[in-house]
Structure 1
Amino acid sequence: METKQENVIRTDYSEIMQKSYIDYAMSVIISRALPDVRDGLKPVQRRTLYDMYELGIRYDRPYRKCARIVGDTMGKYHPHGDSSIYDALVVMAQDFKKGRTLVDGHGNFGSIEGDGAAAMRYTEARLEKLTQEVFLGDLDKNVVDFVPNFDETEKEPSVLPVKIPNILVNGAEGIAVGMATSIPPHNLGEVVDAVKAYMKDNTISVKGLMRYIKGPDFPTGGLVVNKDDLRKIYESGTGKIRLRGRVEIEKLKGGRKQLIITEIPYTMLGANIGKFLNDVASLVETKKTTDIVDISNQSSKEGIRIVLELKKDTDVENLTNMLYKKTRLEDTFGVNMLAVADGRPETLSLKQIIEHHVEFLFDVTTRKYRTLLDKEQEKREIQEGLIKACDVIDLIIEILRGSKNREQVKKCLVEGVTEGIRFRIKASEKAASKLKFTEKQAGAILDMRLYKLIGLEIEALQADYQETMKNIAEYKDILDNYDSMAEVITRELDGIKKEYGSKRRTSIENAEEAVYEEKKMEETEVCFLMDRFGYMKLIDKNAYERNKEAAHNENRCVFLCMNTDKICIFTDKGKMHTIKAVDIPLVRFRDKGTPVDNLSNYDSSQEQMLYVAPLGQIKQDQILFVTKTSMCKLVDGAEFDVTKRTIASTKLAEDDELIFVGSAGEMEQVVFQSNGGYFLRFLKQEISTAKRAALGVRGMKLADGDHLEHAYLLGGHQEYAISYHDKEYSLNKVRLGKRDTKGIKPRI
């Protein structure tokens, strides 16, 4: 029995991983996430549109269920999840996301406020007229290459013959592996004008193109307020566009005003509208502004309308600037014009995108007119044959009557073979032997019907022949002359602009940085409360005085501070988190409060609070730090007056952590307790004062495997007792020793 030989290839595992990952990354980049610069479509969009074209779901025909479109696309061209296909279909139908919608959706296709589309079994769709005529119009003229689908049972276009730079008109967004694209939408009419300008002068600069393309044109309108930055963005293909919503002021009776937001920044689409409303409400709750009386979202299908009712003497300009600064009413759109060009991802300038598209346009137009020319030349051949046949029709009839079969007639017409054919006279046979029709002409003659011999029909045939010759001359001129082809393309572009162009929605301008005067907060004393679950709140000082006992019994941290102060939280990981008191809700005594995790970078799952105090108090104190390995130091409180929300409060050795942080202002002595049961009491003066970034000094000499568990601060002559082995033990009984000694083990 023969043994099957195995072919074992020895290679480094890292090489296999590297090659596999690169293959995967390129697949995601080229075949999924990035659009092609020629048609501006990702594969899923291209396949969906082509499938609708194949199914005959045209703009002038009835809508079809989206489930049918999705299923057919998935089965024939796109073997991925149905949700990815439906999501792409939905976005192509949403007029608030696309510069021009490519799909005409019927049913619930979501809303500008972030509501999702209905399930695909409920919604219907068909192609837009623009898509059918501008994106798919010449597919039957061999203008693009068709490639096999995933299982080689169907053919699909490698690119759609789009006549406008769709990547600019509709923009694009996509996240690939190690790269992402973000191209804003533009005005169709402006883009067409820029393409025409490039075709007239291909040395035109980006600055020259920007005489036509003023900037992005977002479907949500709004304002682009950094006009001077646009040239650099379009030259490099990357940058940030600053967007603002459009704000109007309406006057009400009694001298009051209301601020109306009629257009939003493109980046505020969806759930961010709700976030904006919450941010405005938060400004009111935290007393950052007292000018807003009421907020209401009156948006509808007619458009955006967010109404802020204002107090009588409101400084509207200052409030508007505050909204720009503190909310997403002003936002940035990150531009990264990355697309697949010549089979690889490339960051393109505005001019490069138009260059690629014009080159594609000329290629498509060349293939189109070559196909049309071939058809006209084929038509001419047949027409010439029929005209020639009419001149010798009597001879042809004689050949037909004297032949035995079709093949005999065809051979006579093409090659002049007369054998086996009965002629009435010898002259006819001689004339027949001189016939030289082509195969196609002979076939057309044999298929010709007798009514074609009517005089008017012969005249019509000759008129058609003249028309064919005229078309051939025209097509040859277009194919042979750049200017003629450019004129044809320009004519098409003008027609597209005339039918589908629209007014610009987004204004382009230069605007000053939003500056507002923050009203000085009235400084008052409040009480900070934090319960054992980490919920924080501020209450009025009078409320604290009335509920003093309950406040201390129910909370782990209770102290008075100013409402302009900061709250500092020290953790066992050596971090200090700060929270502005003004950001903590000022509520009634019995209200719950807000979790500390929501207002700071503190993570209750990763670290543990050791000390919480107001910065005003900390700055006047020294802070004692003690670690698990018995390192200790004193740090001046002024070092913790910083602007960052989170800092390293101390330096820790590897695998070390803090066990104690506290104010050392009134302490005179410190007691360390180790896990092994040793206690050491020594004077505060023996601990060095150091900087935040220092490790400190050793406080207690620990045995192998032992570590510190607790540190206690003692005042002057006060008694300080702890529970030790379930018995009360006074720390004052611990013999006073020296720092960096072993300490004692009490007998209890």
Structure 2
Amino acid sequence: MTDIVQIDDDGIEQVSLKQYTEKAYLDYSMYVILDRALPNIGDGLKPVQRRIVYAMSELGLKSSAKFKKSARTVGDVIGKFHPHGDSAAYEAMVLMAQDFSYRYPLVDGQGNWGSPDDPKSFAAMRYTESRLTPYAEILLSELGQGTVDWVPNFDGTMDEPSVLPARVPNVLLNGTTGIAVGMATDIPPHNLREVVTAAIRLLEAPKTTVAELCEHVQGPDYPTEAEIITPREDIRTMYETGRGALKMRAVWDREGGDVVVRALPYQVSGSRVLEQIAQQMQAKKLPMVADLRDESDHENPTRLVIVPRSNRVDLDALMSHLFATTDLERSYRVNLNMIGIDGRPGVKGLGRILGEWLQFRKETTRRRLQYRLERVERRLHILEGYLVAYLNIDEVIHIIRTEDKPKPALMQRFSISDIQAEAILELKLRNLAKLEEMKIRGEQDELAAERDSLQLTLGSEARLKTLMKKELLAAAEEFGDARRSPLAEREEARAFSELELTTADPITIVLSEKGWIRAAKGHDIDAAALSYKSGDSFKLAAPGRSNQPTIVLDSTGRAYTLASHNLPSARGQGEPLTGRISPPSGATFEGLLTGTDERLYLLASDAGYGFVAKLGDLQAKNKSGKAVLNLPKGGRVLQPAPVPEAAAEACVAAVSNEGRLLVFPLADLPQMARGKGNKIIGIPAARVLSREEFVIGVQVLAPTDALVVYAGKRHHRLKFADLEHYRGERGRRGNKLPRGFQKVDAIAVER
């Protein structure tokens, strides 16, 4: 876009508001991106960090110096280089001093510099003292050796370095986070030894792939001993693209039945974790935890103790839940966005970052050597002049004493340069005695050898690379350490479901004729004796546990799932099922089941068809349920019969309304998830449709059970052995029951 600037008669420039705001915003954006939020690939520092480190070096605050008040440093930073708020500069300085925030701190602090629990709890800058760490020398040691460009400060009164001549890829070692305009950066810290090894490999073999570099750089290395659980493949993809995510998980041990957390993820507060766990305990969502303790001290910076309620608690499952629901496991965004050697921001992969940094380092090393070579050659040139002066000392003194302008006279008489003549004239009298020929020639020899070595290195790419490699290895030897954040493969954390957190209390679910449901505590409940609404009465009851699901079967053969622990108490008259589920219009409720997912039930219709199903297969996630039992024409749903644990020897007993009883092995029926099932007892379809004959009930009996048949006020008890007379093949008509039981009302199992 070209700016159209109009100048009126008074000489005032006029720009449209649209053009002015666009230009102003773009200028601001570029300032924030390049001069505030993003680090430079060369030294890995944002401008404020670079200015703090440089200002401290100018104050003489090296690692061997005495501590000085932080306010003094901040004053120099904002007064000379960084015209922003003092609190912003001090906070940046604090971050560089916290060993739990920086992998390799740049500032050595004395006083309260915050804690992992509360990084913002540092004391004011008037109370704390600081100096640079030895590691900061890696960034500063070559500063005065012509290695980098210098730019004017904000008011043009002095110069500051545009970048520091770092000897290692600090952009990866300490990482950084920042939000610019339209872009952000999230660079995790890394291990010095790993990064140096990778840089050397790339230096020796420029075509090294990211996968090969990952043999050295295993992953980020945070200043905490928590585990990085991101898969290696994802880490490699992150290094290839420059974008991704990392997941860290706390490290814990078993100690006498208790859980002891001894390392937390990066920037996670121990007190915050305990608060999150305590909130779950108060909300009764963590019944298996009895107590929490924070036993952290100077010797054990992180020691959080979680006491389970009993030694039967599965600690692995408990910790998996806590990883999923608290900051004991945390994800970190990775966005390797930085200002490259071309001065432009960009997201770079690991290979490109190290490649560009090696270019920066090669240029820095070349400039340092060239600067030293120029100094050596200048000194050699001056020494030649000193040698001339020494060999002609009397004549030199005579010219200086007698000539009004001794410099031209010296230059003419001895054929020396202006620099040499100036050096001779600046000599103090007391130094004349030192101008001994042997000393001069000795220094000349040393400098000449150094000059030749410098020229050889500058003229050979291989020698330059060897020098860079030696310096990288020396830095790794001096400041490198072992990896702190181990990489581990772990299963994905899983939070407890609501059912898993529910205690397994015995309950009896009661369903009324009108479809009202409730749950009574215990199994010894006389459900028929409970109070019901006017016009309503008892229909079905099922004993179970509060952490087991309740399945309701309607008259259309659909199954619905309810959470048993959420059912209303039997102290009241319950709630209508239609408030919790959405059955078809006109449907009634004919079946009530509960138990574990593996519990087996016999599902049947009064048309004489049925099958065995697992309770887990009947469960539905939505309110409208799922179709389970297909009904033949005229058929109706029977109350499902529970299958005893001794299912191998169990038998099915089916009774029709006309008093016919058929008994056959349960194994003859298939196990299905849904369907019509197989024929249980033979009743003609026409008789079912006309409701002349149909099945009254089906039951499954173990060898220790007895079958009770009810007809009016009479009942007939048949032991398992007594059923032999009624045994037959599945699908037969069955045999007639004794006189008086030709009109059966119901059958039940006596266990």
* TM-score (normalizing by structure 2): 0.65
- Corresponding residue number in structure 2 for 1:714: none
Instruction: Verify the 8 A CA contact 1:35 1:41 in the aligned structure 2.
Output: yes
Asked if the contact 1:227–1:509 (Cα under 8 Å) also holds between the matched residues in 2, the reply is no
Taking the aligned partners of 1:541 and 1:314, their CA distance within structure 2 comes to 24
Paired residues of 1:181 and 1:336 also in contact (CA < 8 A): yes
Distance 2:95 2:495 in 1: 38
TM-fit CA distance, 1:399 = 4.1
Report the AA paired with residue 307 of structure 1: V
From 101, 104, 128, the counterpart of 2:105: 101
Q: Deviations over 1:645-668 (max 9, x none)?
A: xxxxxxxxxxxxxxxxxxxxxxxx
CA contact (8 A) 1:187 1:502 kept: yes
Partners of 2:353 and 2:90 in 1: CA distance:
28
**What one-letter code is carried by the residue in structure 2 that aligns with 1:50?**
Y
Q: Deviations over 1:417-469 (max 9, x none)?
A: xxxxxxxxxxxxxxxxxx31111222333344667666993211111110110
Quick check: 1:305 aligned with 2:297? no
1:469 aligns with 2:448: yes
Residues 285 and 501 in structure 2, CA contact (< 8 A), matched pair in contact too: no
- Deviation track 1:682-708 (CA, whole Å, cap 9, x = no partner) reads xxxxxxxxxxxxxxxxxxxxxxxxxxx
Partner of 1:165: 169
Alignment partner, residue 533 of structure 1: none
For 1:91 and 1:148, locate their aligned partners in 2 and report how far apart those are by CA, in whole Å: 27
Q: Secondary structure at the match of 1:139?
A: coil
Residue 229 (structure 2) pairs with residue 227 (structure 1): no
* 1:20 paired residue among 10, 21, 24: 24
- The aligned runs of 1:170-189 (5 Å cut-off) are 170-189=174-193
The aligned counterpart of 2:57 is 53
- Structure 2 gaps of 5+ residues are 1-7, 509-519, 523-544, 550-562, 570-574, 586-619, 626-751
**One-letter amino acid of the structure 2 residue matched with residue 503 of structure 1:** A
Partner of 1:486: 465
CA gap 1:14/1:313 in 2 versus in 1, 3 angstroms: same
Q: Distance in 1 between matches of 2:284 and 2:578?
A: 22
Counterparts of 1:409-428 in structure 2, within 5 Å, are 409-416=406-413
**More displaced stretch, 488-497 vs 153-162:** 488-497
Matching residue's letter, 1:410: K
Return the offset for 1:238: 0.6
C-alpha separation in 2, matches of 1:119 and 1:449 = 51
Question: Matches of residues 708-723 of structure 1 in structure 2 within 5 Å?
Answer: none
Where do 1:561-640 residues align within 5 Å? 617-619=579-581
Over residues 367-392 of structure 1, what are the superposed CA-to-partner deviations in whole Å (9 max), with x where a residue is unaligned?
A: 11111111111100111122233333
Partner of 2:201: 197
**Alignment CA distance shift 1:330-1:377 (3 Å):** same
Cα distance in 2 for partners of 1:290, 1:501 equals: 46
TM-aligned CA distance change 1:187 to 1:581, over 3 Å: farther
When residues 308 and 396 of structure 1 are mapped into structure 2, their CA distance, relative to the original with a 3 A threshold, is: same
1:361 paired with 2:366, answer: no
| Residue 479 of structure 1: how far off its partner (Å) | 1.6
Q: How does 1:191-340 map to 2 (within 5 A)?
A: 191-225=195-229, 226-251=231-256, 257-266=257-266, 268-270=267-269, 273-302=270-299, 303-310=301-308, 311-340=310-339
Aligned to 1:496: 475
Q: Does 1:445 align with 2:424?
A: yes
Asked whether the 8 Å contact 1:286–1:582 carries over to 2, the reply is: no
1:553-564 paired onto structure 2 within 5 Å: none
Query: Could you tell me which amino acid in structure 1 is paired with residue 170 of structure 2?
Result: N
Aligned residues: 526
Given that 2:194 and 2:217 are in contact with CA atoms closer than 8 Å, whether structure 1 keeps it comes out as yes
- What one-letter code is carried by the residue in structure 1 that aligns with 2:488? E
Alpha-carbon spacing, 1:209–1:565, altered in 2? closer, same or farther (3 Å): same
Give the number of the structure whose alpha-carbon radius of gyration is greater.
2
Cα 1:94–1:525, aligned 2, differ >3 Å: closer, same or farther? Answer: farther
Deviation of 1:10 (Å): 5.3
Residues 597-622 of structure 1: CA deviation (Å, up to 9, x unaligned) = xxxxxxxxxxxxxxxx9997243599
- Aligned-partner SS, 2:436: helix
2:42 to 38, 44, 53: 38
Whether contact under 8 Å (1:452, 1:458) holds in the other structure is: no
Give SS of 1:68's match: helix
Q: In the alignment, what sits opposite 2:81?
A: 77
In the alignment, which residue of structure 2 is the partner of 1:388? Answer: 388
Equivalent position SS for 1:296: strand
Alignment deviations for residues 571-630 of structure 1 (CA, whole Å, 9 cap, x no partner):
xxxxxxxxx9999xx9xxxxxxxxxxxxxxxxxxxxxxxxxx99972435999xxxxxxx
Percent identity of paired positions between Structure 1 and Structure 2: 35
Please name the residue that 1:121 is paired with. 126
- The Cα of 1:218 is off from its aligned counterpart by 0.6
Distance 2:86 2:397 in 1: 63
Partner Cα distance (1:262, 1:488) in 2: 42
Q: Note closer, same or farther for the CA distance 1:374–1:615 as it changes in structure 2 (3 Å cut).
A: farther
Distance 2:265 2:343 in 1: 34
1:337 corresponds to which letter in structure 2?
A: L
Distance 1:82 1:525, change over 3 A: farther
**Which letter does structure 1 place at the counterpart of 2:311?**
K
Structure 1 unaligned spans of 5+: 252-256, 417-434, 527-539, 543-561, 567-579, 587-612, 624-637, 644-748
- Cα drift, residue 343 of structure 1: 2.1
Write the distance in 2 (CA, Å) between the matches of 1:222 and 1:364: 37
Aligned to 1:724: none
Distance 1:614 1:398, change over 3 A: farther
Check 1:387–1:639 CA distance in 2 against 1; reply closer, same or farther (3 A cut).
closer
Alpha-carbon distance change, 227 to 392 in structure 1, aligned in 2, over 3 angstroms: same
Question: Contact 2:390–2:436 (CA<8 Å) still a contact in 1?
Answer: no
The alignment partner of 1:247 has SS state of strand
* Cα shift readout 1:50-105 (whole Å, capped 9, x = no counterpart): 11111222211111111121122111111111111011000000000111000001
Q: Counterpart of 1:441 in structure 2: which amino acid?
A: Q
Q: Which residue of 2 aligns with 1:531?
A: none
Distance 1:140 1:615 in 2: 83
Aligned-partner Cα distance in 2 for 1:321–1:281: 17
Q: Once the 2 structures are TM-superposed, how far is the Cα of residue 243 of structure 1 from its aligned partner?
A: 1.1
One of 483, 488, 493 as aligned partner of 1:514: 493
Cα gap change, 1:327 to 1:398, in 2 (>3 Å): closer
Match of 2:542 in 1: none
* 1:240–1:334 Cα contact (<8 Å) kept: yes
The alpha-carbon distance between structure 1 residues 455 and 442, as it changes in their structure 2 partners (threshold 3 A), is: closer
Q: Is the 8 A contact 1:615 1:641 kept in 2?
A: no
Relative distance call for 1:7 and 1:454 in structure 2 (3 A) is closer
1:285 Cα deviation (Å)? 3.5
1:493 Cα shift?
1.6
Alpha-carbon spacing, 1:565–1:309, altered in 2? closer, same or farther (3 Å):
closer
AA aligned opposite 2:236? R
3-state SS of paired residue (2:425): helix
Q: Deviations over 1:236-274 (max 9, x none)?
A: 0011112111111112xxxxx1111111111x524xx33
Task: State the superposition RMSD in angstroms.
Answer: 3.4
Residues 564, 5 of structure 1: alpha-carbon distance in 2 compared, 3 angstrom cutoff: farther
Q: Report deviation, 1:400.
A: 4.8
TM-score normalised to structure 1 length: 0.65
